[in-house]
Amino acid sequence: MSRRELIAMTPDEVSAFLAGERVVICATNGRGGWPHLMPLWYLVREGEIWSWTYAKSQKVRNLERDKRATLQVEAGEEYHELRGVMIEADAVIHRDLEVCTEFGLRMFERYTGDLGQGFEEAVRAQAAKRVVLQFVAQRTASWDHRKLASGVY
């Protein structure tokens, strides 16, 4: 078995890892050919990463031109602790106000834990300016260096 195969996460490990982390780096293809990388909060829905962002953001403009994105979620400080998931995906842009509002509520529930009174109106106001991004995976790679006995390649 190759070292690459040794450090790959199982599907259950990938799911648990994505559920436990909080930030995904989203790389889109910029108009000038340079990668455009930005951090996003996210939710995992039926095995897919979903996020939201401002409708006029550069990443949305990039995805309107080219639906391909690469996502990366990573953790660990030292080499022997490094783990992560990289997903090559096609993005679907959802613009419906109800979809954006519902998603925004779930997003803030995950990241703040408490929606509080009047929070739905605030999220609805934000949702009017935002889109929801659904990333449909085409290829996934994962790594967990903690699986290596020696901790190094």
**CATH code of the domain made up of 3-146:** 2.30.110.10
Stretch 73-95: mean pLDDT: 96
HSE-up (13 A, CA, CB side) for residue 15:
6
pLDDT tens track for 44-61: 999 999 999 999 999 999
Residue 124, Cα to own-chain centre: how many angstroms? 22
Helices (DSSP H) in 8-152: which residue ranges?
11-20, 58-65, 97-112, 119-127
The residue ranges of every structural domain in the chain are: 3-146
What number is the average pLDDT over the span 82-109? 96
Contact between 9 and 83 (Cβ < 8 Å): yes
The pLDDT value recorded for residue 121 is: 86
pLDDT in tens, 100-117: 999 999 998 899 887 777
